[in-house]
Amino acid sequence: MSRTYSIAVIPGDGTGPEVIREGEKVLRAAAEKYGFKVDLHSFDFGGDRYLATGEVLPDSAVDELRGFDAIYLGAIGHPGVKPGVLEKGILLRLRFELDQYINLRPVKLYPGVETPLRGKGPEDIDYIVVRENTGGIYTGVGGFSMKGAPQETAVQSMVYSRFQVERCLRYAFELARRRGKIGTLALCGKTNVLTYVYDLWERAFHELGEKEFPDVKREYYHVDAVCMWMVKNPEWFDVIVTGNMFGDIITDLGAITQGGMGIAAGGNINPQGVSMFEPIGGSAPKYTGKNVINPLAAICAGSMMLDTLGEAEAAASVEAAVMSVTGRELEGLGAGKMGFSTSEVGDMVAERV
Ligand code: IPM
Ligand code: MN
């Protein structure tokens, strides 16, 4: 029986289409090698469509996307559109409405990749951040009063329910148990200042851990301290779980320690529904159309997608191919610094798969 996965592809803005093209190349190679099919359907959501039609996301889009096995996204963000319009209207809307409540972001240094952390290597930098993805300060609870007046005020609230916190923690505990690296789950919070929201997180963390995951070791760090240790002692970490905004911030720091945005991938996961995979870097307008952007982050996002679809062997072979390319071929991971073009890097990975 042949396995077929129908995948919605949103290349998006800037360099998104260039990196997604290489990701598709690698997916097709993996499908052929491992005996399954990928049915790719492209959607033109993004800045150009918005500028031409005034529509960010058609109302039917979310329901249509629900019918796919997975979504593969390039990048959202257009220099001609005010910041926030596309990010909220496409990326965040899809994360929220598809209830992709986990944002999974591995921080893993591949062989041959230079890290700015002196004296650290692939054996030291290998952990996963579980970022809560549908709550917190990201959901737009807030507003202005007296906008434009000298006494203007603005408020933006961090709101978390026990339900949201618990389902995220449960996923992270299960991941820490499954990974079995050092069997540790670290909660990243700010209980000394955010004494309501992170108090809730910390209580839920220990209660759930004690009751359902006694075999997983629990650690707590304030977010500022996490930043420090991610630089000084990344080898301490196995799985880090945190709220939406801290997760956004610390994963850019993590990305830089693994070689930069050219390699950092993420998955917006709904364990019971449709998940969306993306390189975590932006649309990089200044490199658009030059065939110099690094496609490896998009390719790695494709590997995470295969893993989630149940094609673990294919996923591992894509990751191994990426590692062999970073280890033996590329001069660097930055745009224009790879020693190869975007499409050449895609070809190399596809061949090795
Ligand atoms: C990310 C991005 C997004 C976020 C932006 C583009 C809305 O920075 O995926 O990390 O903040 O979640
Ligand atoms: Mn971010």
Task: Kindly report, residue by residue over 107-147, the tens digit of the pLDDT.
Answer: 999 999 999 999 999 999 999 999 999 999 999 999 999 99
Identify each DSSP E strand in the chain by its residue range. 3-12, 36-42, 70-75, 102-108, 126-132, 142-145, 153-156, 184-189, 217-222, 239-242, 265-269, 275-279
Q: Does the annotation mark 39 as catalytic? A: no
Q: Rounded CA gap, 57 and 319, in Å?
A: 32
The CA 278 to ligand 2 mean position distance, Å, reads: 11
Can you give the pLDDT of all 353 residues of the chain as single tens digits?
Answer: 579 999 999 999 999 999 999 999 999 999 999 999 999 999 999 999 999 999 999 989 999 999 999 999 999 999 999 999 999 999 999 999 999 999 999 999 999 999 999 999 999 999 999 999 999 999 999 999 999 999 999 999 999 999 999 999 999 999 999 998 889 999 999 999 999 999 999 999 999 999 999 999 999 999 999 999 999 999 999 999 999 999 999 999 999 999 999 999 999 999 999 999 999 988 999 999 999 999 999 999 999 999 999 999 999 999 999 999 999 999 999 999 999 999 999 999 999 99
Read off the pTM: 0.97
The CA 341 to ligand 2 mean position distance, Å, reads: 25
Which amino acid type is present at position 197?
V
Closest residue CA from atom 11 of ligand 1: 248
Residue 92 CA: nearest ligand 1 atom is: 7
Task: Single out the catalytic residue among 69, 126, 248, 307.
Answer: 248
Paired with 42 in beta bridges are 9
Amino acid 182: pLDDT: 87
For 80-109, the pLDDT digits (tens) are 999 999 999 999 999 999 999 999 999 999
Q: Is 280 in the pocket of ligand 1 (CB under 6 A)?
A: yes
